[in-house]
Amino acid sequence: MTFSEIKIIGVIGSGTMGRGIAISTATAGYNTILYDIADEIISKAKVSIDKDLQKGVDKGKLTAEAKEQILNRINFSADFNSLASSDFIIEAAPESMELKRKIFSDLDNICRDDVILSTNTSSLSVTTISTIIKKNPERVIGMHFFNPANIMKLVEIVKGDFTSDDVIKTTTELTLAIKKVPVLAKDTPAFIVNRIARPFYGEALRILSEGTADVKTIDAVMKNCGGFAMGPFELMDLIGIDVNFSVTKSVYDAFFNDAKYRPNFIQKKMVDANLLGRKTKKGFYNYE
């Protein structure tokens, strides 16, 4: 698959990341199929994307006509088979190796064998995902966007052990075409940014659990004195406590229980209580 042959992009998962990715591809002019597992979930994604684009219109960054064109380029689907017409896939389903391998195996069955299959995984091995593919495992690649995906520029392009140079070239060209900044990374646990960010969250959680300072104080110190755009707790709420916890667990596991990456019981308690951050309107902060 060469870059110029890409006309239709399939995005799998219409959560925090899938929605932002679909806005980016549709804004760049690509017909986009946004897939999720149930009608009610995909309908919610449509409402959320509409609202997001409307904010752009209200701020004068987008015309009402452009908003409609972007929306019209997105086919909101709860039918997995609709992804069969895609030329390029970006998978943004939950961070579970078992789930991602199942999705990639199903894609192997329905997509043409020249279709590039990319994953937005934050921490899982692209190589391990690719080994489920029977037809051309060299077409599997990591395409790691940042949150919010329609705004953040960086995309880590992750080369699995079997990823071909042609697939890296096409994915890099597509990343540039959707107005992002690609950076190439090897397939090591959590790649570049998330690897560096793990201790940022982990130490903040330890400081909190030891009672050294509260959430607001830690965030304020990191922002006002440390120069960070967001504090660790604001960022965890934005990412999703469940997503952040899954990523931490998989990085801890991938580094054979290195204490540096150990998850924190605060995250587990919050996930069990469905305090997932902005998406449930309650996390370290209240968004109601």
Ligand X SMILES: NC(=O)c1ccc[n+]([C@@H]2O[C@H](COP(=O)([O-])OP(=O)(O)OC[C@H]3O[C@@H](n4cnc5c(N)ncnc54)[C@H](O)[C@@H]3O)[C@@H](O)[C@H]2O)c1
- The residues carrying an active-site annotation are 122, 144, 156, 194
Q: How far is CA 117 from the centre of its chain?
A: 14
Q: Does the protein bind ligand X through residue 247 (CB under 6 A)? A: yes
Smaller CB separation from ligand X, 3 or 285: 285
Q: Which regions of 42-139 does DSSP assign to beta strands (E)?
A: 74-77, 88-91, 116-119
Provide the pairing of β-strand 116-119 with 181-186. unpaired
Q: How many residues bind ligand X (CB under 6 A)?
A: 27
Residue of the chain from 92, 158, 205, 218 that contacts ligand X (CB under 6 A): 92
Kindly give the interhelix angle for 241-254 and 232-239, rounded to the nearest 10 degrees: 100
Using CB under 6 A, which of 2, 37, 39, 179 touches ligand X?
Answer: 37
Q: Residue with the closest Cβ to ligand X?
A: 15
CB atoms within 10 A of CB 225: 8
- 14 lies in the site for ligand X, by CB under 6 A: yes
Shortest gap between Cβ of 101 and ligand X (angstroms)? 11
Instruction: Examine residue 171 and tell whether it contacts ligand X (CB under 6 A).
Output: no
Beta-carbon contacts of residue 269 (< 8 Å; ≥ 6 apart): none
The set of residues, in sequence order, having a beta carbon less than 8 Å from that of 191 and lying 6+ positions away, is: 123, 142, 144, 156, 158, 185
Closest CB to ligand X among 3 and 200?
200
Shortest reach from residue 31's CB to ligand X, in Å: 19
Span of 107-115, 119-127, 160-168, 205-213 interacting with ligand X by CB under 6 A: 119-127
Residue 9 — φ and ψ, nearest 5°?
Answer: -115, 130
Residues of the shown chain interacting with ligand X in the complex, contacts defined by CB under 6 A: 12-18, 36-37, 41, 92-95, 99, 103, 120-122, 144-147, 239-240, 243, 247
